[in-house]
């Protein structure tokens, strides 16, 4: 498995290279900020006509994770849809594929700032999920045991003068911020106060990519 073992609030987790979070002991898979329907929303608002393949790409990557891990529960950690109208717009494309993914397992849509209401895609809609020592919510409130998304963290690492930029997990012993799993998502540097202010001195990142890599958090 391409991932790094990390411990947050006593829970042993795997931060995967794909950007998904796997909790082996509880068989819970968490993905954040899917932003399904993003290209549709931008087009609707008079912006650029982006390649309309983002939903397809994001679902394909999610399917690959679910096929590989066969989780008992999937938590989509908010901003799963770029907005509620986008959710309707992509329903035809996404509903059958989501139905297959949801079959035989528990599925939770945690609400985010982009999708603050129920959507018509099966599964349960919750503001947050409490499980053992962990709380899953979209925007961090700096509580212990918190697993959140929202900020789309990305890190810049310089390898002997060679800069690379990757989206990443940010964590310390008390809390964890997930990278965006969606295909069309920008990011926020880990050095930004909104992220660096949430984690303690010993904070680390796990870079996503072909080989998930753990590093001290660039500030």
Residues that bind other proteins (CB under 8 A): 39-40, 43-54, 56-57, 89, 156-165, 183-189, 191-192, 202, 204, 207, 210-211, 213-216
**47 C-beta neighbours (distance < 10 Å), count:** 10
Residue 201, CB-side half-sphere exposure with 13 Å CA sphere? 0
Of 39 and 135, the one with the shorter C-beta distance to other proteins is 39
What's the closest the beta carbon of residue 165 comes to other proteins, in angstroms?
8
What's the closest the beta carbon of residue 219 comes to other proteins, in angstroms?
8
Of 102 and 187, the one with the shorter C-beta distance to other proteins is 187
What's the closest the beta carbon of residue 71 comes to other proteins, in angstroms?
26
Tokens 């987790």 label which residue? 13
Q: In this structure, what token pair is assigned to residue 105?
A: 């397992």
Would you state the torsion angle of the CA atoms of residues 53, 54, 56, 59, taken in this order, to the nearest 10 degrees? 170
Are residues 155 and 190 in contact, defined by beta-carbon separation less than 8 angstroms?
A: yes
What's the closest the beta carbon of residue 103 comes to other proteins, in angstroms?
27
Q: In this structure, what token pair is assigned to residue 176?
A: 């964890």
Integer Cα distance of 169 and 36 in angstroms: 20
Q: How far apart are the first and last CA of the chain?
A: 29
Of 84 and 126, the one with the shorter C-beta distance to other proteins is 84
Of 121 and 184, the one with the shorter C-beta distance to other proteins is 184
What's the closest the beta carbon of residue 173 comes to other proteins, in angstroms?
11
What's the closest the beta carbon of residue 10 comes to other proteins, in angstroms?
18
What's the closest the beta carbon of residue 194 comes to other proteins, in angstroms?
9
Of 14 and 74, the one with the shorter C-beta distance to other proteins is 14
Are residues 37 and 87 in contact, defined by beta-carbon separation less than 8 angstroms?
A: yes
Of 15 and 74, the one with the shorter C-beta distance to other proteins is 15
Coil, helix or strand for 45? coil
Nearest to 77 by CA among 178, 196, 192, 207: 178
The size of the chain, in residues, is 219
Pairing of strands 134-136, 204-207: unpaired
Of 1 and 215, the one with the shorter C-beta distance to other proteins is 215
């Amino acid at each position: 498995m391409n991932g790094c073992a990390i411990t947050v609030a006593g829970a042993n987790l795997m931060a995967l290279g794909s950007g998904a979070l796997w909790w082996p002991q509880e068989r819970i898979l968490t993905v954040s900020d899917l932003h399904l329907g993003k290209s549709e929303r931008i087009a609707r608002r008079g912006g650029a006509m982006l390649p309309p393949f983002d939903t397809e790409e994001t679902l394909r990557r999610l399917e690959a994770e679910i096929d590989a891990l066969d989780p008992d529960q999937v938590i989509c950690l908010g901003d799963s849809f770029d907005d509620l109208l986008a959710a309707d717009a992509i329903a035809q494309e996404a509903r059958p594929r989501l139905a297959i993914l949801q079959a035989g397992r528990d599925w939770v849509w945690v609400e985010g700032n982009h999708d603050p209401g129920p959507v018509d895609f099966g599964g349960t809609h919750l503001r947050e999920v409490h499980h053992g020592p962990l709380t899953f919510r979209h925007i961090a409130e700096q509580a212990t045991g918190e697993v959140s998304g929202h900020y789309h963290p990305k890190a810049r690492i310089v390898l002997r003068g060679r800069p690379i930029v990757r989206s990443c997990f940010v964590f310390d012993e008390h809390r964890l911020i997930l990278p965006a799993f969606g295909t069309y998502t920008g990011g926020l540097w880990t050095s930004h106060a909104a992220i660096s202010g949430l984690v303690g001195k010993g904070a680390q990142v796990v870079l996503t990519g072909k080989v998930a890599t753990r590093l001290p958090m660039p500030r």
